[in-house]
Amino acid sequence: GNSVTQMEGPVTLSEEAFLTINCTYTATGYPSLFWYVQYPGEGLQLLLKATKADDKGSNKGFEATYRKETTSFHLEKGSVQVSDSAVYFCALSGGSGSARQLTFGSGTQLTVLP
Amino acid sequence: DAGVTQSPTHLIKTRGQQVTLRCSPKSGHDTVSWYQQALGQGPQFIFQYYEEEERQRGNFPDRFSGHQFPNYSSELNVNALLLGDSALYLCASSLASAGTSYNSPLHFGNGTRLTVT
């Protein structure tokens, strides 16, 4: 079945530092890939998505590229802000599972210090 | 435009009791999914409701059941609560006609924090 593996956290960075959160997946076929963000006390919000190989999803300065050859979807941001502090989840749908449900990684806690 | 709303926000129950959680989907959405998020973990899919029927189910026991009403709102019921049921329960809505999670990404509520003692 489908599975998602994220780099373990927590990750602590200084403001304006470069961010990378690694995500790899296991799935047959061509799953769709997502990054969701969860701010303290809130539900998950979609950050970005990609549906086929070499697609790049981007939003709010964050980017991730769907790499079929390495089964990866790493999240990057060139200059993080304190307001980016949150938990980030990599997820997929489709592949060997349903296209209507999400399989999530375990999340990566990001703390950005001023 | 109201997003996904869940009630209650917090709940404390005793082992063996039963609990009902409620969800109203985002305006215009007709499909409701429920996820369980244990502390420090990613959400796990419980089930999905569309047209008042359970359309898909994850790897959860029959103690977990649900219902969807004609106005698309939904309930999650858990019977015979165990300590391990303590978690954040998330409701997410989407639009069935869009097909996949890519075309109609899930919109999540803020969740109900269930504590079983």
CA–CA distances in Å: residue B73 to residues A114, B4, B5, B47: 42, 10, 10, 14
Distance from CA of A64 to the nearest CA of B (A): 15
Q: Give the pLDDT of residue A94.
A: 82
Average pLDDT of chain A?
A: 93
Confidence bin at B115 (pLDDT 50/70/90) = very high
B2 or A16: which leads in pLDDT: A16
B40 or B36: which leads in pLDDT: B36
Is residue B102 scored above 70 in pLDDT? no
Contact A42 B110 (CB under 8 A): yes
Percentage of chain B exceeding pLDDT 90: 85
Nearest to B101 among A43, A93, A105 (CB): A93
Contact B102 A99 (CB under 8 A): yes
Chain B residues within an 8 Å CB radius of A89 = 42-43
Q: Give the pLDDT of residue B1.
A: 62
Is residue B84 scored above 70 in pLDDT? yes
| Residues B14-33: tens digit of each pLDDT | 999 999 999 999 999 999 99
Contact B111 A101 (CB under 8 A): no
Chain B residues within an 8 Å CB radius of A99 = 99-102
Distance from CA of B86 to the nearest CA of A (A): 16
Contact B100 A101 (CB under 8 A): no
Is residue B77 scored above 90 in pLDDT? yes
**Chain B contact present for A73, CB below 8 A:** no
| Structure tokens given for A43 | 């539900």
Q: Give the pLDDT of residue A42.
A: 85
| Residues A44-94: tens digit of each pLDDT | 999 999 998 999 999 999 999 999 999 999 999 999 999 999 999 999 988
The DSSP bridge partners found for residue A108 are A88
Sign of dihedral through CA atoms B10, B15, B20, B23? positive
Buried b (16+ CB within 10 A) or exposed e, A9-41: bebebeeeeebebbbbbebeeebbbbbbbbeee
